[in-house]
Amino acid sequence: MLAVTKDTFAEEVVRAEKPIVVDFWGPQCAPCLALETKVGALEKEYGSRIKITKVEAHKNRRLCLSLKVLSLPTFLFYKDGGEVGRLTGDVIIESVKEAIEGML
């Protein structure tokens, strides 16, 4: 998965040509860490149809504030340069899959 920062967010997410999943996480966030391998499996499952990126929240606080990401884990879904969905808090991987399917 591609790590995105405030400096690369516009290029890697907003200007992307295919649907994007942005996983906001933190190394101290147990639910985030529990989802990590499952999110990696989604990247393999959907192959080249989507791009999954990760943002380490505590290293990118201004980006989180500008996007109104206030809790972890948070997943943002982008298509054609705009946010089309959001999951936050008690996220289950099936919900992430449903959001991805909705973008394809």
In 3D, which of 55, 61, 94 has the Cα closest to residue 73?
Answer: 55
Q: Is the dihedral of CA 54, 55, 57, 63 positive or negative?
A: negative
Is 29 an active-site residue?
A: yes
Is 32 an active-site residue?
A: yes
Catalytic residue among 4, 22, 32, 57: 32
In 3D, which of 19, 23, 55, 17 has the Cα closest to residue 38?
Answer: 23
Q: How many residues does the chain have?
A: 104
Report residue 19 as tokens. 């649907």
Catalytic residue among 1, 16, 29, 84: 29
In 3D, which of 87, 82, 93, 5 has the Cα closest to residue 46?
Answer: 93
Positions annotated as catalytic residues are 29, 32
